[in-house]
A and B are shown apart, each in its own frame.
Chain A
Amino acid sequence: MGYLVDLTRGLWRENPTFRMVVGLCPTLAVTNAVANGIAMGLATTFVLIGSTVIISALRKITPEKIRMPIFVISIATFTTIIAMLMNAYFLSLYNVLKLYISLIVVNCIIMARAEGFASKNPVINTFFDSLGMGLGFTLALVIISTVREILGNGTFLGIQVMPDSFQPVLLMVLPPGAFLTLGLLIGFFNMMTALSAKRKGAQKRRAVNVDESAVNIG
């Protein structure tokens, strides 16, 4: 039960991109195609899980004062591993994402989870928390890149989805499109949250009214 809470936290309630708005550099930079978004998201998930599990396992013997360098070294190690793996097995993706894969090492999401969760919780909880956060990040990248690729190129994962008469909005795959898409998406999710909160509030009020009337009758 507790593990499920850890897993779902990052997926939506504390989604790193849409809720916490951290780790924006890769979010904005690689989301011009869905394939790039998925690859970046999974690479970040790998580094996130690997480094936070190590940090969590070492949390009792880590001296308080030098914990930051220890975090940074373990994150940098896993970043180097994923960069080498991608270089060996996914060369074409690696050539596109090269710079941003290396820059996973300074991704705020990982530092935030290491400091805020892994350094205080057991290994298994940390694993599920990091898995959830990583998948939440991947989900956010996929949503943003889907919007950008379909509008900017008329394709989804490279497959034509829009009719031939569709004129691609080139702006969406260029840098400004990244800012505009993310801004409008966060605004949209804010609106949905406000609406659902309002509906829940109305339901609660009705429930309270019913209780009061019951008391009156009693």
Chain B
Amino acid sequence: MLTNLLLILVSSIFVNNFLLSRFLGECPFLGVSKQVETATGMSIAVIFVMTMTAAITYLINNYILVPFGLEYLQIIAFIVVIASLVQFVEMVIKKTSPTLYQALGIYLPLITTNCAVLGVALLNVQNPYNFIEAVVNGFGSSVGFAFALISYAGIRERLALAPIPKALEGFPSALIGAGLLSLAFLGFRGLV
């Protein structure tokens, strides 16, 4: 049981990394990776929301959609759940911890349209996971997301100072950098 969970955790963090191998959540990957500080803020918000999404969408799918034969409503149901969950989390954080709200504030609304969050919900449905496995998969995926995002932000901070050809400034050099990072992650393939 425990080995199985560990296996899911390692494979979702390193082998099937959301950003570099499954290509989910590329918008924040390129959008908020200019500084390590903002990347860290975004990562914490994503870990929080993705783990909760994994748990709640699992319950909704297995206790509401499947018993009533409504699987075809999965996409609509999940997107509505995620949007309201993000709103709810935002309100709770605002009430309980203004400092955390200050730190995460701008990133939370952005997460609604982050395909990584919907991606983890859909992947959990496609795989025969039980509740704990689904939550561990959500947590592992988001930690993998954070790991890739923060290390990539470190690369981009260096890249901003490097002399690059004019045509490659901005997005092209950022994408090529991501390609090299993805190549490094390819080395984890044999791990599981």
Binding site for B on A (CB under 8 A): 21-22, 24-26, 28-29, 69, 72-73, 76-77, 79-80, 83-84, 98-99, 102-103, 105-108, 111, 171, 174-180, 182-184, 186-188, 190-191, 194
A72–B74 CA distance with the chains assembled, in angstroms:
14
Please name all residues of chain B whose beta carbon is closer than 8 Å to the beta carbon of A107 when the two chains form the complex.
115
Are B79 and A72 in contact (CB-based, < 8 A)? Answer: yes
Binary flags per residue of B128-172, CB closer than 8 Å to A gives 1, else 0: 000000000000000000000000000000000000011110011
Assuming the contacts A80-B75, A80-B76, A102-B75, asked whether A194 and B166 have C-beta atoms less than 8 A apart, the reply is: yes
Please name all residues of chain B whose beta carbon is closer than 8 Å to the beta carbon of A28 when the two chains form the complex.
23, 26
CB-nearest residue of chain A to B169: A190
Assuming the contacts A99-B119, A102-B75, asked whether A25 and B167 have C-beta atoms less than 8 A apart, the reply is: no
Assuming the contacts A98-B126, A190-B172, asked whether A106 and B76 have C-beta atoms less than 8 A apart, the reply is: no
Is B21 close to A, CB under 8 A? yes
Q: Using a CB-CB cutoff of 8 Å, which residues 10-61 of chain B contact chain A?
A: 20-27, 30
A80–B180 CA distance with the chains assembled, in angstroms:
35
Are A179 and B182 in contact (CB-based, < 8 A)? Answer: yes
Please name all residues of chain B whose beta carbon is closer than 8 Å to the beta carbon of A83 when the two chains form the complex.
75
Are A106 and B115 in contact (CB-based, < 8 A)? Answer: yes
CB-nearest residue of chain A to B182: A176
Q: Chain A contact residues: over half helix, strand or loop, or mixed? A: helix
Is B174 close to A, CB under 8 A? yes
Are B23 and A25 in contact (CB-based, < 8 A)? Answer: yes
Are B23 and A106 in contact (CB-based, < 8 A)? Answer: no
Using a Cβ–Cβ cut-off of 8 Å, how many residues does chain B contribute to the interface with A? 42
Are A106 and B83 in contact (CB-based, < 8 A)? Answer: no
Assuming the contacts A102-B75, A176-B183, A179-B178, asked whether A186 and B172 have C-beta atoms less than 8 A apart, the reply is: yes
Q: Least Cβ distance of B180 to chain A in Å?
A: 7
A25–B118 CA distance with the chains assembled, in angstroms:
13
Are B23 and A182 in contact (CB-based, < 8 A)? Answer: no
Please name all residues of chain A whose beta carbon is closer than 8 Å to the beta carbon of B123 when the two chains form the complex.
99
Q: Least Cβ distance of A42 to chain B in Å?
A: 19
Are B119 and A103 in contact (CB-based, < 8 A)? Answer: yes
A108–B25 CA distance with the chains assembled, in angstroms:
11
CB-contact partner of B118 in A105, A178, A183, A191, under 8 A:
A105
Are B115 and A25 in contact (CB-based, < 8 A)? Answer: yes
Please name all residues of chain A whose beta carbon is closer than 8 Å to the beta carbon of B172 when the two chains form the complex.
183-184, 186-187, 190
Is B93 close to A, CB under 8 A? no
Most buried by A among B74, B172, B174: B172
Please name all residues of chain A whose beta carbon is closer than 8 Å to the beta carbon of B186 when the two chains form the complex.
174-176
A21–B117 CA distance with the chains assembled, in angstroms:
21
Are B75 and A175 in contact (CB-based, < 8 A)? Answer: no
Are B26 and A177 in contact (CB-based, < 8 A)? Answer: no
Binary flags per residue of B76-87, CB closer than 8 Å to A gives 1, else 0: 100110010000
Are B79 and A179 in contact (CB-based, < 8 A)? Answer: no
Q: Least Cβ distance of A199 to chain B in Å?
A: 16
Are B22 and A106 in contact (CB-based, < 8 A)? Answer: no
Is B91 close to A, CB under 8 A? no
A69–B79 CA distance with the chains assembled, in angstroms:
10
